[in-house]
A and B are shown apart, each in its own frame.
Chain A
Amino acid sequence: MMNFAWIALVPALPLLAALLIAGLHLAGPARGERGEALTARVTLAAAGAAFLLLLGLDVSALVAGAPGQVDVADWFASGDFRLPLSFTLDNLSLGFGTLVGFIALVTLKFSVSYMHREAGFHRFFIGMNLFVAGMLLIVLAGNAGLAFVGWELAGVSSWMLIGYAFERDTATLNAQRAFLTNRIGDAGFLLAIALAFLWMGGLDWNTMSHAAARLPTLYVGLIGFGFVTAALAKSAQVPFSPWIARALEGPTPSSAIFYGAVMVHAGVYLVIRLETVLIHTPGVMALIAALGLITALYGWLVGMVQTDVKSGLLFATLTQVGLMFLACGLGLFQLAAWHMALHATWRAWQFLAAPSYMHLLNATTTPPAPAWMRNCPRLYTAALQRFWLEPLADRLLTRPTQGLAHDMRAVDDNVISRLVGMPAAQSAAALLDARDNSATVVRGRGLAGGLLVWLAGRLGDFEQRLVLQGGGGKLAEGMRRLGDWLKWVEGLLEQPRYLLLMMMATLVVIL
């Protein structure tokens, strides 16, 4: 029988692989085409070992029963707050975790040949390994804190891979956009973590589900809302949908694993994981159902008018994920879990095979949109424009933020920088030039700098006059004077008459 503590290795292995490849890349061996074999071997060994480990644990769980919560170690603790390195091993996490491990292994194997001779080969695999580690952590984590670590790892690696071709402006722009949209979800996740710690007394899934039963609905609703926001953003549900279309910028295998198969389901998984919490909040459940339904419709309608295979597949994926959210919102968590597993497998294959099919079929035409849609031009335009979700977000969020930032910048440049003596941004170059011919090191700018210069001058004078002056400062001078005086007394004492006087005085005192 395997010890279930081995589970800690499962997310750790890809993480270590990423670090190892990064290290080897810096040191030299994993570079260029010659290093490809090494990188591939490290990656596949880690993913393979993680998958085998999961299978072994599956068998153990089948024989001995799933252990539920497994505490491996304490990560950190401060006061009442405690974040253990704990994992939840039940049928859901073991099942989906094994599936994630399998899809990751297959996709990585596929990528080794697909990415051959690409400039960013090693970078790609670092990102992929990070993603696999993050995703496995989300699925297996025993508490919300650890799941959040995986959540962020997945987010960051997604950003790295969307911006894979960072020489192109669109790629970096899309990466940024996708990452920022995801950060809205992260804010929800963090809020939920903080509230859960405050009101529920812990971040363990078990603790949370027990606490949810006795807390007021409003509290549970707020916590649930935070988690659901995160889930909606990660799974690209309306209104967060637009980022996922931009995410197609990355290489095909990463698109497959991120948006087709695995990461897009992370939100669904989180919702299913929180089933016992969410069922106590009818409002949030209704929200999930409504947004899931809207996303399903959105994905279906927009998918009709797509002309390239990747976008087509993507909107089909959105439709399915929307249906999963709908199922969850209606309380059919079991159904959603099955739907998720089947859909992940199917879609991974479809995404990976799509480029080859395109190649083999030489297909150039896409079927036109159905007649009923063509007959309704407004709907058709709306679908083509993807229901203006992105311009809407720009108008409601991006532009006000930019305006605010602009004003802040003006305040910063005109008031604060002058006050503290920071050089304005434009003049930084001028500043460097000015340094050329100035040998003075001690300079201050602005109000604070001027004050410091003045104070330093005064204190410097003080130091020079009182502490350092002369041979050994005032102290040494005083001691020298004392020494001179003692010498004089000594000289007097050496004279016989004073010596006699001293002796007589001593005698008088003694007698």
Chain B
Amino acid sequence: MLRLLLLLPLFGALLIALLPGRNGVLIRRAALAITAITLGWALWLASAFDPSVASVQLVESHVWNPRMGSAFTLGVDGISLPLVWLATLLAFIAALASGGIKDKPKGYYMLLLLLEAAMLGVFMARDWSLFYVFWELTLLPLFFLIDRYGGKNRSRAALNFVLYTMGGSVFMLIALLMLYDAAPGHSFDMAQIRAGAHQLPEATQIGLFLGLLIGFGVKMPIFPMHGWLPLAHVEAPSPVSILLSGILLKMGSYGLIRAIDTLPAAAVALQGLLLALALISLVYGGILAWKQSDLKAMVAYSSVSHMGIVLLGLAALNNAGFTGAVMQMVAHGLVAGALFLLIGLLYERTHTRELADYASLVKVMPRFAFFTILAFIAAVGMPGTAGFVAELHALIGGFARWGAWVVPVSLTVIISAAYSVRVIGRLFTGPIASPQSDRMRHLPDLTRGEFTAAAVLTAGTLIIGFYPAPMLDLIAATVGLYAEVFAS
């Protein structure tokens, strides 16, 4: 089943390669159909998945290189399945939102599908070598997507992004190779490596964990390693920004969860460092988001802040914290996806992202206003949205571990409310004073496709916010297993 999920977008990319390059509409329809089928198939996995089982399910394994001990092993558990769903959903949304790409559509959609396949591979791989291959594989399509279809500074952004990620990956690779050495059967299989790593002395574990932390931290991003993010997000075409912040960032935190499970002694020893990084990321990202007047840069920095909550939940090393981290990954995927989608749509119409250029859009684009306001409210983590469930769990987890030290988190809630409300106020109220005011009065509202995309993401946020029980049940078993290691 999982193999097919991986192959669907790959075959889709192949199919698009065979289509005539000039027929943009046909290519777009094909890409939409493929992402929709992939999404459907991913959702169908729920029928075969048993949420009460904590271990990896739907495993498929093929020996890849017997001498090296690497295998093509796929599998999902309660942590990766929601992320697989998120990835397929956001890929579909990104394809829906790509209506504005008129130039070289063939290459664009091919790269988009390749990216989807690589991301799914990261979440489903149960073998560290395979994981690493998919991890690096996401870079290629992204590099070209940003470099060829991005904004003004796209080359710099693309290069910067790849350099940062590759730089982190080197440390990750070294750590993985050392882990491989420690595994009893000399294998890259995640379970075997985990068993081997648990036997290592604490000092070695800490060294290995730091290597993985750098690799995953760049992607996530954690405070000093986030330099690529504002540039890449601002310059990438909006649908790519959706995938970038919606899923690519989650790959980092997903890897970190696996790393914590693999090297528990190091995680315990470095708990203080993780907390410090989480709190700095939270406050730093929040304040810089507040400082931006460019809409996309603002959402980009707010992502740093939101991923800080994921790190906080992980650092707590308890059940509530892990639950909060996984929930926040999903919640932020939906919210950031919605925000980049909507801002992208606005940019397509006006070609400005400066907040000061806008006013009174609620009269011109009421449907756009409705979804944008909801998305920003969800970004603040208002009760009734998915972000609230996530933040609450992460806070409870953090509080159980450190008590009052997590107080700064509430400070970031105020800051995030400050910039969210400011954007809402600036975009939708007040007099129109910009020189382009005439054009601003005649902007078309959301089209049917855009409406669907925004509605799906918003509905997801609200459903999880109002009725989180099914989602929590889905991740509970696996998270319980992970937290058990640290309970004693």
* Contact between chains at B291 and A468 (CB < 8 Å): no
* Contact between chains at B293 and A456 (CB < 8 Å): no
Query: Which stretch, A119-127, A238-246, A437-445, touches the partner chain B?
Result: A437-445
On chain B, the residues within 8 Å of A361 by CB distance are: none
A2 at the interface (CB under 8 A from B): no
A391 at the interface (CB under 8 A from B): no
B355 at the interface (CB under 8 A from A): yes
Whole-angstrom CA separation of A467 from B224 in the bound complex:
8
Whole-angstrom CA separation of A452 from B412 in the bound complex:
11
* Contact between chains at B164 and A436 (CB < 8 Å): no
Kindly provide the distance from the CB of A441 to the nearest chain B CB, expressed in whole angstroms. Answer: 4
Measured CB to CB, the nearest residue on chain B to A431 is: B430
* Contact between chains at A467 and B227 (CB < 8 Å): yes
Q: Which of A441, A460, A463, A475 contacts B422 (CB 8 A)?
A: A441
Measured CB to CB, the nearest residue on chain A to B231 is: A468
Whole-angstrom CA separation of A373 from B52 in the bound complex:
78
B36 at the interface (CB under 8 A from A): no
B276 at the interface (CB under 8 A from A): no
* Contact between chains at B293 and A442 (CB < 8 Å): yes
Measured CB to CB, the nearest residue on chain B to A472 is: B160
B184 at the interface (CB under 8 A from A): no
Task: Say which size band chain B's interface belongs to.
Answer: 20 to 34
Instruction: Given A452-B287, A463-B288, verify A476-B163 contact (CB < 8 Å).
Output: yes
B159 at the interface (CB under 8 A from A): yes
A435 at the interface (CB under 8 A from B): yes
Whole-angstrom CA separation of A441 from B231 in the bound complex:
20
Q: Which of B164, B230, B418 contacts A475 (CB 8 A)?
A: B164
Whole-angstrom CA separation of A460 from B288 in the bound complex:
7
On chain B, the residues within 8 Å of A436 by CB distance are: 430-431, 433
Number of A interface residues, CB 8 Å? 23
* Contact between chains at A472 and B422 (CB < 8 Å): no
A491 at the interface (CB under 8 A from B): no
Kindly provide the distance from the CB of A423 to the nearest chain B CB, expressed in whole angstroms. Answer: 12
Q: Which of A437, A452, A459, A468 contacts B433 (CB 8 A)?
A: A437
Whole-angstrom CA separation of A479 from B226 in the bound complex:
17
Kindly provide the distance from the CB of A117 to the nearest chain B CB, expressed in whole angstroms. Answer: 32
Measured CB to CB, the nearest residue on chain A to B290 is: A456
Whole-angstrom CA separation of A440 from B284 in the bound complex:
21
* Contact between chains at B287 and A456 (CB < 8 Å): yes
B415 at the interface (CB under 8 A from A): yes
CB contact list, B215-233 vs A, under 8 A: 224, 226-227, 230-231
B156 at the interface (CB under 8 A from A): yes
Instruction: Given A439-B356, A459-B291, verify A467-B160 contact (CB < 8 Å).
Output: no
Kindly provide the distance from the CB of B222 to the nearest chain A CB, expressed in whole angstroms. Answer: 12
On chain B, the residues within 8 Å of A439 by CB distance are: 356
* Contact mask for chain B residues 287-320; partner A; CB cutoff 8 A; 1 contact, 0 none: 1101111000000000000000000000000000
* Contact between chains at B426 and A441 (CB < 8 Å): yes
Q: Which of B287, B290, B293, B430 contacts A432 (CB 8 A)?
A: B430
A404 at the interface (CB under 8 A from B): no
Kindly provide the distance from the CB of B384 to the nearest chain A CB, expressed in whole angstroms. Answer: 15
* Contact between chains at B160 and A473 (CB < 8 Å): yes
Instruction: Given A432-B431, A436-B433, A441-B426, verify A471-B159 contact (CB < 8 Å).
Output: yes
On chain A, the residues within 8 Å of B159 by CB distance are: 471-472, 476
On chain A, the residues within 8 Å of B156 by CB distance are: 471-472
* Contact between chains at B163 and A441 (CB < 8 Å): no
Whole-angstrom CA separation of A476 from B159 in the bound complex:
10
Measured CB to CB, the nearest residue on chain A to B415 is: A452
* Contact between chains at B231 and A456 (CB < 8 Å): no
B408 at the interface (CB under 8 A from A): no
On chain B, the residues within 8 Å of A463 by CB distance are: 288
B40 at the interface (CB under 8 A from A): no
- 10 inter-chain pairs at a CB distance below 8 angstroms, sorted by A residue, are A435-B430, A441-B356, A441-B422, A441-B426, A452-B418, A457-B291, A467-B226, A467-B227, A475-B163, A475-B227
A interface residues with partner B (beta carbon < 8 Å): 432, 435-437, 439-442, 452, 455-457, 459-460, 463, 467-468, 471-473, 475-476, 479
Extra pairs beyond A442-B293, A468-B231 (6, CB < 8 Å): A437-B433, A441-B422, A442-B290, A467-B224, A475-B163, A479-B167
Top 10 closest A-B pairs, CB basis?
A467-B227, A456-B291, A441-B293, A472-B160, A439-B356, A473-B227, A441-B355, A456-B287, A441-B356, A460-B291
